[in-house]
A = this chain, B = another copy of it.
């Protein structure tokens, strides 16, 4: 809800503005974010292949030139949308919040949250899957896909390492390898869920079972 009203107020902003080429830093940041939220919605509705810059601008309530001011090109917009999906992914919380959870609990909570039905999580998951699927045909996107995947993997590996130290994750595990396998499984489950080939509850069940069997320290 917050995002919707924010994007509406930005639309007002822009219609009152006479110069769009040099927005003040704060408003510029908000507009950039509003455009990326709009891009995620458009991608979530009709995919990366169907994305038209004009539709994103209209959804964000900004003019196409303002969009190009921020992202230079359609591809720049798609790359920024992927980067934002990476920054906003539930697993990103693992980077900032140690909290009171054990390493194991933090990993389970973060990965399960990727299969949440919240709209922004779902939009993000579709952006992630779609940019990856598009990279098969557009090699220029591959470095970006590789980079966000490696960031995600490194984040989860670090949490696994912490779990091994605090005794919640079994010793002898290879944190990098376990992280790579788990995030690949999460991606696969997301794709099944979003494609309607598996219901979300079953996807969560399979993920929890896998985490408990392969990661959690035996009592």
Interface of A toward B, CB cutoff 8 Å: 45-47, 49-50, 126, 129-130, 132-137, 139, 141-142, 145-146, 149, 177, 180-181, 184-189, 191-192, 194-198, 202, 206, 209-210, 213-214
Contacts of A214 in B (CB 8 A): 213-214
Report the Cα distance A51→B67, complex, angstroms. Answer: 29
Tell me how far the C-beta of A79 lies from the nearest C-beta in chain B, rounded to whole angstroms.
14
Interface on chain A toward B: helix, strand, loop, or mixed SS? helix
8 A-B pairs besides A146-B197, A180-B198 with CB distance below 8 A are A47-B49, A130-B133, A132-B191, A136-B195, A141-B195, A145-B195, A184-B188, A184-B192
The answer on a CB contact under 8 Å between B184 and A135 is no
Instruction: Specify which of B130, B141, B149, B188 is in contact with A198 (CB 8 Å cutoff).
Output: B149
Known contacts: A132-B191, A188-B187, A192-B184. The answer to whether A137 contacts B197 by CB under 8 A is no
* A50 contacts across to B, CB distance below 8 A: 49, 137
A142 to B202, CA, bound (A): 16
Within the complex, the shortest CB–CB distance from A192 to chain B, in Å, comes to 6
In the complex, which of the residues B180, B184, B189, B195 contacts A133, with contact meaning CB atoms closer than 8 Å?
A: B195
B146 and A196 form a contact (CB under 8 A): yes
- For A187, the chain B residues whose CB sits under 8 A away are 188, 191-192
Identity of the chain B residue whose Cβ is nearest the Cβ of A130 in the assembled complex? B133
The answer to whether A177 and B209 touch (CB under 8 A), given A49-B47, A146-B196, A196-B145, is yes
CB distance from A155 to the nearest CB of B (A): 16
Considering only CB atoms, which chain B residue lies closest to A174 in the complex?
A: B209
Give the contacting residue for A195; candidates B142, B177, B191; CB below 8 A.
B142
A218, chain B: closest CB distance, angstroms: 14
